Amino acid sequence: MQHLDHDRLVFLALGESEADNGESTHLGTCAHCRVEMTTLRQIAGLGVETQGLADLPDPPEHLWQGILAQVSAAETRPPVTEIRRPPVPEQATGTTAEPTVDTVAEPTIGTVAEPTIGTVAEPTVTRLDSARRSRRGRGWSRWAATAVTAAAAAAVGVVGTVSVLRPDDPAPTPKPVVVASAPLAAYGSTPPAARGDARVLQDGQLHLHVANLPRVPGYYEVWLINPTTMEMFSVGTLGGGQDALLPLPPNVDLKTYSVVDVSAERFDNNTRHSGDSLVRGTLTG
């Protein structure tokens, strides 16, 4: 069974023309052409669905390179060359055949018959004049097929990009920039297992991570201390967890107030430092 031309199926899938009675009958009986038509219609539908999309990132460079390679390959045609046949040996009449110029036929798969001994085998030459005319007539349809292929590849790339950047997907969380940090170690009579880390983030917040702090009847409070004058101010309190994110006062001088202190405080309405420091560390950055 001879299948419908691929370029004709492209036009039918794009809705550029209607199938005639013979083509409709063939599509009704040929599963191969029917599957190809369905695939082409799905590809064309993808292109239509993506026409309303805007403000999308550019497809990756390798996608465009692949499209350009396919278009270039479709436009490439094998060059038509000419050869001259060698002079035919003189016949019995004593005349010599004039050399003729023939066009080389396109290669085909088949069996080459060997010449009979004692005779000169004349090469069989198929001229490409009619093939050239057929290709010129099909130039537009071949271009359309190439364009549909490129559009389909671009549509798949866009749909893939949209699926990666769907609004319901969580955006990647940027890693915070740390401008200063300090390891916190047990201070005074605190058990040596108590420890922690303090990090000052670029957005003006202090991140505290503590571990193995001794139990206290009140709560834990975080301070910044000037080690030269021992002046200090409270940054905030720790909750029941091991981590806390506390806002720092605007324009705080971390070179002056460089000591991070976590103290044990009581619920006594006294806003001053209790004098019971559990862990401390000096900021560097």
Q: Indicate the range of 27-36, 39-48, 90-99, 233-242 predicted with least confidence.
A: 90-99
Q: Where is pLDDT greater, at 94 or 196?
A: 196
pLDDT of the residue at 100: 47
pLDDT tops 50 at residue 82 = no
Q: Indicate the range of 70-84, 111-125, 137-151 predicted with least confidence.
A: 111-125
pLDDT tops 80 at residue 125 = no
pLDDT of the residue at 148: 54
CB 279 within 8 A of CB 195: yes
d(CA 20, CA 26): 10
Q: Which of 234, 243, 227, 241 is nearest to 265 (CA)?
A: 234
CATH architecture for segment(s) 178-282:
Sandwich (2.60)
The boundaries of every CATH 2.60.40 domain in the chain are: 178-282
Residues 6+ apart with CB under 8 A from 95: none
pLDDT of the residue at 194: 96
Q: Where is pLDDT greater, at 73 or 220?
A: 220
pLDDT tops 60 at residue 140 = no
In which band, very low, low, confident or very high, does the pLDDT at 114 lie, cut at 50, 70 and 90? very low
- The burial of 210, by beta-carbon neighbours within 10 Å (0-12 exposed, 13-18 middle, 19 or more buried), is given as buried
**Backbone dihedral angles phi then psi of residue 144, each to the nearest 5 degrees:** -65, -40
For residue 171, how far is the Cα from the chain centroid? 16
In which band, very low, low, confident or very high, does the pLDDT at 28 lie, cut at 50, 70 and 90? confident
In this structure, the number of other CB atoms found within 10 A of the CB of residue 82 comes to 8
Report field, pTM of the whole predicted structure over 0.85: no
pLDDT tops 80 at residue 54 = no
d(CA 146, CA 76): 12
Tokens 């009449």, residue? 93
pLDDT tops 50 at residue 273 = yes
pLDDT of the residue at 119: 43
For the stretch 154-200, pLDDT in tens is 544 544 444 444 555 566 778 889 999 999 999 999 999 999 999 99
pLDDT tops 60 at residue 134 = no
pLDDT tops 70 at residue 254 = yes
DSSP character at residue 272: S
Highest average pLDDT, of 138-147, 155-164, 212-221, comes from 212-221
pLDDT tops 60 at residue 97 = no
**Token pair for residue 245?**
């994110």
pLDDT tops 80 at residue 91 = no
**Backbone dihedral angles phi then psi of residue 236, each to the nearest 5 degrees:** 160, -170
Q: Where is pLDDT greater, at 99 or 70?
A: 70
- The pairing of strands 277-282 and 178-186 is antiparallel
State mean pLDDT over 37-50. Answer: 77
pLDDT of the residue at 137: 44
State mean pLDDT over 235-261. Answer: 93
Q: Which of 172, 194, 169, 198 is nearest to 183 (CA)?
A: 198
**Token pair for residue 140?**
């537009």
State mean pLDDT over 79-102. Answer: 49
pLDDT of the residue at 23: 81
DSSP character at residue 188: T
Tokens 């695939």, residue? 39
Triad 222, 225, 228: Cα angle to 5°: 165
Q: What's the chain's length in residues?
A: 285
